Amino acid sequence: DFGTGDDLNDIPNWEEEGYDNDPSTLAKEPTISGNDSASPDGGRFAKIDDGEWVCRDIDASSYEDLSLGYYWRGDPSAEDGESGMAEFQIGTDCESGIFTNVATHELDDGNNDIDEGWSVLQSIALPASVDNTTFALRFSNNAVASPSDEEFRVDKVTLTGTPN
């Protein structure tokens, strides 16, 4: 949950690529219509700009059978192959290392330059390698800034698991 109210450049409880107060990735207050309209969860959502990410450390040291849930929305101006990803890495380093991709979402998923709207609630079983450990959970956008901005939007991020 990214809260309610006005836009926040520094997304609470999430680390951002580069400088956290950079307005290119933010907790966005929804608009009435268009690409930034409210998610099914309502309230603010993470709006992740070209080549950027948001990341959070997860302590799952007492849990197994983890499942990641979230809503996502792309951008109709995205070029073919520009995607938003859900990723993880064992350990708690959001800045470096090798992340493992668990889901890829093409930003213009219909390749038709039409606003596709918010996704249905995603539910992704995480691999057993994250059971009983700490890891970094990251949502990233691989789009390039030219010819235009293409954002990856994420909301209602949940992580569920079975206690040991």
- To the nearest whole number, what is the mean pLDDT of the chain? 90
pLDDT in tens, 34-64: 889 999 999 999 999 999 999 999 999 999 9
In terms of Cα–Cα distance, which of 161, 154, 162, 160 is closest to 55? Answer: 154
Tokens 């107060």 — which residue? 21
| pLDDT bracket for residue 128 (50, 70, 90) | very high
Q: Are 71 and 122 in contact (CB under 8 A)?
A: yes
What is the pTM (predicted TM-score) of this model? Answer: 0.93
Catalogue the E-assigned strands of the chain.
15-16, 26-28, 45-48, 53-59, 63-73, 83-90, 100-106, 122-125, 134-141, 152-163
